[in-house]
Amino acid sequence: MIDIRGITKTYGSGDMAFQALKGISFGIADGEFVAIMGPSGSGKSTLMHILGCLDTPTSGSYRLDERDVSALSDDELAEIRKDKIGFVFQSFNLLPRTTVLRNVMLPLVYAGVGGDERSARAARALHAAGMQESHFTHRSNELSGGQVQRVAIARALVNEPSLILADEPTGNLDTRTGEVVLGTFQKLNEEHGSTIVLITHEPDVAEHAKRIIHLRDGRIVSDDASHAQRRAAL
């Protein structure tokens, strides 16, 4: 699904140039659950923006579902984001006084999907994210932090994207609630075959993935199965 080859990203020019990524190469197959991990300044946020088609590399190629998106126009990148990528952010970004179901339906409104189909698809996405139907009519400001993040996951799923990109999705949650949310990602990967890329700086969060790519100073320093995956293979 993802094929990254020789990606670099440079900000500024001349004496002020800063190279955030320095020749990154890797692939992610359809149905993988991968964590991209690194400390502040490692380049993981820059890489996330490129993977999410929010930015383009300075050099190198990025193919998503066999399409080279490295040098597409802003409008073409917006189409890719709408059709192929579901985003889950640390800050949730839900409308607080709008119902759970309507929050999840919102991307389908922008996509021009009809009312009955919007409702059905939003309900399916909420069920897949582990939300109980009794919560569908609650406003998002009436939910717990973990429930709100599950709604955000459902919203990311509703357009049936090829890729779910989760940026520090447990950063605003306590440990117990974070475990519930990470379990939701694991279930989506194992039972629904969702391809998930998780961006994090926390080793215990990364261990919920099946593979961990470590970045440091703009380079990949390791790319291995997680400890949990290695134990499962024994």
Q: pLDDT (tens digit, 9 = 90+) per residue, 37-70?
A: 999 999 999 999 999 999 999 999 999 999 999 8
pLDDT beyond 80 at 227: no
User: How confident is the model at residue 234, as a pLDDT?
Assistant: 61
- Confidence at 166, pLDDT banded by 50, 70, 90: very high
Asked whether the whole model's pTM tops 0.85, one would answer yes
Query: How much is the average pLDDT of 145-164?
Result: 92
User: How confident is the model at residue 47, as a pLDDT?
Assistant: 96
Query: How much is the average pLDDT of 181-187?
Result: 93
For residue 173, the 8-state DSSP code is S
User: How confident is the model at residue 113, as a pLDDT?
Assistant: 85
Which residues are within 8 A (CB) of 164 and not within 5 positions of it... i.e. 6 or more apart?
A: 85, 86, 88, 153, 156, 157, 185, 188, 194, 195, 196, 197
pLDDT beyond 70 at 25: yes
User: How confident is the model at residue 189, as a pLDDT?
Assistant: 94
Query: How much is the average pLDDT of 70-81?
Result: 88
Nearest alpha-carbon partner for 5 in 84, 66, 49, 63: 63
Give percent above pLDDT 70 in the chain: 98
- Confidence at 26, pLDDT banded by 50, 70, 90: very high
Sketch the domain layout of the chain as residue ranges: 2-233
User: How confident is the model at residue 8, as a pLDDT?
Assistant: 97
Give percent above pLDDT 90 in the chain: 71
CATH 3.40.50.300 assigned to 2-233? yes
User: How confident is the model at residue 63, as a pLDDT?
Assistant: 95
User: How confident is the model at residue 110, as a pLDDT?
Assistant: 79
pLDDT beyond 90 at 71: no
For residue 42, the 8-state DSSP code is S
pLDDT greater at residue 230 or residue 86? 86
Per the CB < 8 A criterion, the answer to whether 153 and 129 are in contact is yes
111 phi and psi, to 5 degrees?
A: -85, -5
Q: How many residues does the chain have?
A: 234
Quote the mean pLDDT of the chain. 91
